[in-house]
Amino acid sequence: MELKKTVERIVPKKFETREEYLLYLRHLFAYQEAVEMLQPNHQILDIGFGEGYGVKLISEHISTVTGLDVNKDAVAYANKKYASENCFFEVYDGKKLPYEDKTYDAVISFQVIEHIKDDLHYLEEIRRVLKPGGQAILTTPNRETRLEPGQEPWNDFHVREYSAKQLNELLDNVFPTVSVYGIRGDETVEKVESNRIERRLSFYKLLPHFMKRWVTGDFMEKFDTDRFYLTDRNISESMDLYIIAQR
Residue 154: its pLDDT value, please?
85
* Residues present in the chain in total: 247
Q: What is the pLDDT of residue 5?
A: 61
The rounded distance, in Å, linking the Cα atoms of 113 and 126 is 11
**Is the CATH number of domain 18-246 1.10.10.10?**
no
Closest CA to 167 of 141, 130, 145, 148: 141
Distance CA 189, CA 224 (A): 10
What is the DSSP pairing of strand 43-47 with strand 64-69?
parallel
Say if CB 229 and CB 164 are below 8 A apart.
no
Q: What is the mean pLDDT of each run of 10 residues along the chain (247 residues)?
A: 64 80 94 96 96 96 96 95 96 95 98 96 98 98 91 90 96 97 94 82 51 68 92 95 97
Q: Give yes or no for a contact between 74 and 51, defined as CB atoms under 8 angstroms apart.
A: yes
The domain spans of the chain are 18-246
Query: CA–CA separation, 21 vs 126, rounded Å?
Result: 30
Position 204 scores a pLDDT of: 44
- What per-residue confidence (pLDDT) applies to 220? 83
